[in-house]
Structure 1
Amino acid sequence: MDFISSDLIFTIALFLLVVFAVLGIAWGLFYPKLSKNYSRDQRMQAVALSRVQISDKRMRAASADRRKDIEANLKQMENQQKKGKNKKQSLSSRLDQAGLTITTRQFWIYSMISGAVCFLGALLGGLNTIVALGVGIVGLVGLPHFWVARKRKKRLQRFIAEFPNAVDVIVRGIKTGLPLGDCLVIAASETSEPVRSEFRRLVDEQAMGLPLAKVVPRLHQRIPLPETNFFAIVIIIQTQAGGSLSEALGNLSRVLRARAQMKEKVSAMSMEAKASAAIIGAMPFVIAFLIYLTNSSFIMIMFEETMGLMMLGAALAWMLIGVLVMKTMISFDI
């Protein structure tokens, strides 16, 4: 009995040993992917994947923070521009934008001289005292401000025409490895007026210790154009959020040139309408002057009688309304 039980136990043990040996050999032959080497590779891939996921998560977080900073900066600049638009420009700022070096006191002195000359000229021309007084008021208020507005418009047009060249100079300097401050110095020396003087102001203000993010918005305050606003936005975003400044300014230069071409195209297409409006607006004055040359007594009664003065005032008011309507119809903002 003892002999049978010991043989049985030995047989079972041997059978189990053979079964485990066969299973081990089969495991190693038919399931190599679950071997030690594969487990190591799998663990390495899992670690690498986790690193990529962590890096991707950090990049997404940094991108979100950068986007928030850019949106906050743009919103702040937009609020400042809205305040600047609502605030009426002073006479000194308009004189500065026109490129004039006179002060406001000198401007009003010249305005009074202009008003006095117009008043005396109207009196010497034989006009009524009331009409001469109106001509003097026009010479005091209208003509000087019209002259300043004309000078300002021409200077801004010259700035728009030269500003893309200055941006191209800055882009070429940045691509060669120069810092932005040196590129501004080159632009201040290589470009023509009025861009040269405005960039010299930027360089001087930066040399006084002001940061570039504070200096560039002043260019838009002195030259209130969309082009300078775009330039200020690009510089501020690059200094605070980083990025390729040469690529951004290159895109800005292409946009500025495209805007200039579009303005010239619109101006050429609307030239006929502007010429027609100018002829219609000038025709009553030309006819009145010709009548005065041929038969002065026929037209002077309008200036001597009260009813004639009232009719002239009403006619001038209606003409002013018509001129404003035509100006609105032929003006295109880009």
Structure 2
Amino acid sequence: MQIGTELLIYGLIFLSVLALVEGLYLTLFGKSISLNARVNRRLEMLEKGLDRDQVLEQLRKEMTQHMRARGIPLYALLAERAQKANIAFTPLQLIAVMVVLSVLAFLGLTVGTEAALPVRALASVAIGVGGVCTWVNGKASKRLGLIEEQLPDAVELMVRALRVGHPFVAAINIVASEVPDPLGSEFGVIADEVAYGRDIGEALKDLAERVGMQDLRFLAVAVTIQQQSGGNLAEVLAGLAKVIRSRCRCRSSCGAGAIRSTSSGARSARPRPPAPATRRQRCARFREPTGSTVSRPFSNPGTKRRSRPRGSG
């Protein structure tokens, strides 16, 4: 009973660590960074009166700061997921959060449990570091999932803008202003970089490599080829939007199929009761000449057995 209570305390402290990280994150950077806001973070920063250059510098810093800090010991294990999650915490701030949460977890274990000092120290470090890693992984998975959902609609929005006569850079700006985060701010950064002279194909390729998504690589390649060889970009992007949407449906159906196969496999692994015997499989009983009753399986109870006369052959 004591062990079960202590495990419950460990679990509650771990959940408290996750809640503290999320609360601190929203408090420092605002609700627009939670990926649930209708207005993307870039537009909100511009509406607050910040200069366009300052917004671009801040967003680019957040997008690349974690991969630049891969030289910090043990941080390289978290840097890639933190970059894909676009965590606004700097690497040093994220490490400081781990330390503070480990200390708070140690205090909670000291008050709530009677474990030995080495056990509490190791458990507090595991809770602090593991809680932050779990939080970062959850943020990265949610952000990548939202980008996959938003990308087909964003490409179709660019197609409609191109068909009414807008240039491709203007189509990028329309996506940046109409699509919520995370894709809205990403395309907003691309629009600002192109306005300052960067090649749009290189900007899209950099986005695809930073996020690590194959569909964005398709978009970057299509735009680059159209820039070099010409052609109807609207038709190319319309076909690409259909391909991306089909890939999303395939991934969704494959995930649902894997869940169904796992559940069916679990059901098939359960022991099943023996099937009831059919009438034909029941033991047919007949009487021997000696008067003994013997059971013979798979015989037809409706046929009579001819008895051999005694003394014959």
1:259 matched residue in structure 2: 247
Identity %: 28
2:178 matched residue in structure 1: 190
SS in 2 for 1:264: helix
Question: Structure 1 CA distance, aligned partners of 2:202 and 2:253?
Answer: 35
2:154 matched residue in structure 1: 166
Alignment match of 2:133 (pick from 140, 145, 148): 145
Alignment match of 1:134 (pick from 97, 122, 125): 122
List aligned pairs for 1:68-147, cutoff 5 A: 94-124=81-111, 125-147=113-135
Question: Structure 2 CA distance, aligned partners of 1:147 and 1:190?
Answer: 28
Per chain length, whose mean CA-contact separation is higher, i.e. which structure has more relative contact order (CA < 8 Å, sep 6+)?
2
1:206: Cα distance to partner?
0.5
1:237: Cα distance to partner?
1.1
1:92: Cα distance to partner?
5.7
Residues 97 and 127 of structure 1, relative CA distance in 2, 3 Å threshold: same
Answer yes or no: is the 8 Å Cα contact 1:220–1:228 preserved in 2: yes
- TM-score scaled by length of structure 1: 0.53
1:243 and 2:231 matched: yes
Task: Letter of the 1:219 partner, please give it.
Answer: L
Question: Structure 2 CA distance, aligned partners of 1:122 and 1:269?
Answer: 42
1:215 and 2:203 matched: yes
- TM-score scaled by length of structure 2: 0.56
Answer yes or no: is the 8 Å Cα contact 2:201–2:221 preserved in 1: no
1:43 matched residue in structure 2: none
Q: Considering only CA atoms, is the larger Rg found in Structure 1 or Structure 2?
A: 1
Question: Structure 2 CA distance, aligned partners of 1:135 and 1:275?
Answer: 34
Task: Letter of the 1:110 partner, please give it.
Answer: V
SS in 2 for 1:270: helix
Question: Structure 2 CA distance, aligned partners of 1:275 and 1:190?
Answer: 40
Question: How well do the aligned residues superpose, as a CA RMSD in angstroms?
Answer: 2.7
Q: Of Structure 1 and Structure 2, which has the larger fraction of its residues in helix?
A: 1
Consecutive unaligned residues in structure 2, runs of 5 or more = 1-66, 266-313
1:102: Cα distance to partner?
1.4
1:93: Cα distance to partner?
5.8
The count of corresponding residues between Structure 1 and Structure 2 is 193
SS in 1 for 2:115: coil
Residues 273 and 122 of structure 1, relative CA distance in 2, 3 Å threshold: farther
